[in-house]
Structure 1
């Protein structure tokens, strides 16, 4: 069975973006890319909501051949290009997936749980990784379709107007699997197994 892994960077006050969805206020450093590359190397599928998918599609394709980018960023771009992508959306069309059309499948929201159950049930194929996609992963978490949370906390707060990471008011229990810190990074990743209360 494949695992569904949610990866999210959070501020110390528990937000995943600043006001008006501004992600650039988050406490990014080199550990963020190290984490993402590590997850992509083990992924068979990247699962995204519409907004995150469009952000990835607009940014990552050109990075792989850009000599001004660090090698790790070029590797992330190559991995994003080649990995199967499933995007949950009621508004995207096949035309919106270029240049990733050959590796992207669009799933309507009404069928997202069924699609994720099918991915999880496969015997092999690598992890199913969710980056960003706050609305999507909160829904999957509430329906018991997330296996692990990889939460990176950075040394900063967002304050008033930030969007909290967790939407559900229902209780949930997580079992700590490990804590990781990268050399030269102020980010700390807490890796949890998910078990619903």
Structure 2
């Protein structure tokens, strides 16, 4: 049976974005990029909520072939690293499924031909069927509200959390439902203060308040 894997960044105090909803408050460095490339390279499908899809599809399709930066040492040049170009190429090719009640993907979206939309009410049944019948991992990036619903339904298999050495104090909480987890791996990256924690989901805790 294929696995559904959530790949998100989180602060030390459990937030995936600051109080304004900005996830860039966290340390999205080269280690974060490499972890995302590893995850999408191992997957056969990317599953996204609509807000994440709209944001990603306005950015990632164009990184692969973007011109080289004038100053390769400028901080913003990391966005056009070989790792990020590889992420862009994989995103462009891999099938994407969007959970949304906002209608179809516009025809002028760069990912229109590789994206399927599933209504929110059908998301759990789609995931359950895909886990039984498909091959390769289903990976989720961002999409916090969507995957928390699937976590509560017992449909998430693993959580890969890149822990940023950041305490926000106030922000958007990553988890909306409780769950019991078992650690698979703790991974460090050379030159980065980030740590990736990988957990197996044992069971949702629907009997407890979130």
TM over 0.5: yes
The one of 186, 189, 194 aligned to 2:193: 186
5+ unaligned residues in a row in structure 2: which ranges?
Answer: 69-79, 206-210
Task: Give the distance between the partners of 1:10 and 1:61, measured in 2 at CA.
Answer: 25
Moved over 2 A (4+): none
Pairwise CA distance, 1:92: 3.5
CA distance in structure 2 between the aligned counterparts of 1:156 and 1:97, rounded to whole angstroms: 38
Q: TM-score of the superposition, structure 2-length normalised?
A: 0.88
Q: Judge which range, 139-148 or 62-71, deviates more.
A: 62-71
- Distance in 2 between the 1:96 and 1:191 partners? 37
Q: Distance in 2 between matches of 1:163 and 1:123?
A: 33
**Distance in 1 between residues matched to 2:193 and 2:114, nearest whole Å:** 34
Q: Report the CA distance shift for 1:123/1:47 in structure 2 as closer, same or farther (over 3 A).
A: closer
Within-5 A mapping of 1:107-118: 107-118=118-129
- Quote the offset at 1:186 in angstroms: 1.1
Instruction: Report the 3-state secondary structure (helix = DSSP H, G, I; strand = E; otherwise coil) of the residue aligned with 2:64.
Output: helix
Match of 2:18 in 1: 18
Structure 1 Cα separation of the partners of residues 85 and 197 of structure 2: 26
In the alignment of these two chains, the number of paired residues is: 193
Larger radius of gyration: 2
C-alpha distance in 2 between matches for 1:41 and 1:32 = 14
TM-align CA RMSD: 1.3
Alpha-carbon distance in structure 1 between the residues aligned to 2:56 and 2:162: 19
1:121 lines up with 2:132 in the alignment? yes
Distance 1:28 1:73 in 2: 12
